[in-house]
């Protein structure tokens, strides 16, 4: 009886050890797959095209798309922002006019190429508006440029030393952190 009990304990230990070994192997084997699933690259050609056209880092555009819509081209926010880069229809219409495109159709925001073009143009515009400061531009992409200008004017945030905790809108503070984290992961995985 004792031999049978020892044999069962030994089989149980071997079984648990094999399960643990399998789990460890799967973690190392599939960590790249997990990373690629968590940080996908979709619409690569379009992102590269418009990133080059508007002189932007494509990893930044990937991070914005991931955080804004998780690459869901039909996403609509509770504030009516639409598409991959979650652009408000009024902002898209304004951008279209700036680009000399008088014909604007809100349905275009669900077309990945059009949405990415508008979003990358807008990010470039915001970076130029904030003197090359990408962090301020990203905050403005979320909270609007007027809010960020007011924060700078009031001294709420310091252009030279941006501290996420000093951003008055929790949503924008979280957004800025998510973009930074996603950007760093995209660089780590794909660069």
Residue 41 confidence class, pLDDT cut points 50, 70, 90: very high
Share of the chain above pLDDT 90, in %: 75
Residue 22 confidence class, pLDDT cut points 50, 70, 90: low
Share of the chain above pLDDT 70, in %: 82
Give the predicted TM-score (pTM) of the model.
0.83
Q: Tell me the C-alpha distance between 96 and 111, whole Å.
A: 14
**Mean pLDDT for the chain?**
89
Residue 17 confidence class, pLDDT cut points 50, 70, 90: low
The confidence score (pLDDT) of residue 51 equals 98
Q: Tell me the C-alpha distance between 131 and 117, whole Å.
A: 21
3-state percent breakdown (helix, strand, coil) of the chain, nearest 5: 70, 0, 25
> Is it the case that residue 27 has pLDDT exceeding 60?
no
Q: What mean pLDDT is predicted for residues 174-189?
A: 96
Question: Residues 80-134: pLDDT tens digits?
Answer: 999 999 999 999 999 999 999 978 899 999 999 999 999 999 999 999 999 999 9
Instruction: Give residue limits of the domains in the chain.
Output: 1-38, 44-190
The confidence score (pLDDT) of residue 164 equals 86
Q: Which residues pair with 76 in a beta bridge?
A: 82
Q: What is the CATH number of domain 44-190?
A: 1.10.530.10
Q: Tell me the C-alpha distance between 173 and 165, whole Å.
A: 7
Look at residues 84, 87, 79 and name the one whose alpha carbon lies nearest to residue 61: 84
Report DSSP letters for 134-160, one per residue: HHHHHHHHHH-HHHHHHHHHHTSS-TT
Q: Tell me the C-alpha distance between 80 and 130, whole Å.
A: 26
Catalytic residues: 68
Question: Residues 142-179: pLDDT tens digits?
Answer: 999 999 999 999 999 999 998 888 999 999 999 999 99
């Amino acid at each position: 009886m004792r031999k049978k009990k020892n044999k069962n304990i030994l089989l149980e230990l071997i079984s648990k050890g094999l399960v643990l070994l399998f789990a460890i192997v799967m973690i190392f084997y599939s960590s790249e797959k997990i990373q690629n699933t968590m940080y996908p690259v979709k619409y690569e050609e379009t992102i590269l095209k418009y990133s080059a056209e508007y002189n932007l880092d494509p990893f930044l555009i990937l991070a914005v798309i991931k955080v804004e819509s998780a690459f869901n081209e039909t996403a609509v926010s509770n504030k009516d922002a639409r598409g991959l880069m979650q652009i408000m229809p009024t902002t898209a219409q304004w951008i279209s006019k700036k680009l000399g495109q008088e014909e604007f159709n809100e349905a275009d925001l669900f077309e990945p190429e059009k949405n990415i073009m508008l979003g990358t143009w807008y990010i470039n515009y915001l970076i130029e508006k904030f003197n090359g400061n990408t962090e301020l531009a990203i905050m403005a992409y979320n909270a609007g440029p007027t809010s960020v200008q007011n924060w700078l004017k009031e001294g709420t945030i310091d252009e030279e030393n941006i501290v996420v905790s000093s951003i008055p809108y929790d949503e924008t503070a979280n957004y800025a952190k998510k973009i930074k984290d996603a950007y760093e992961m995209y660089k780590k995985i794909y660069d």
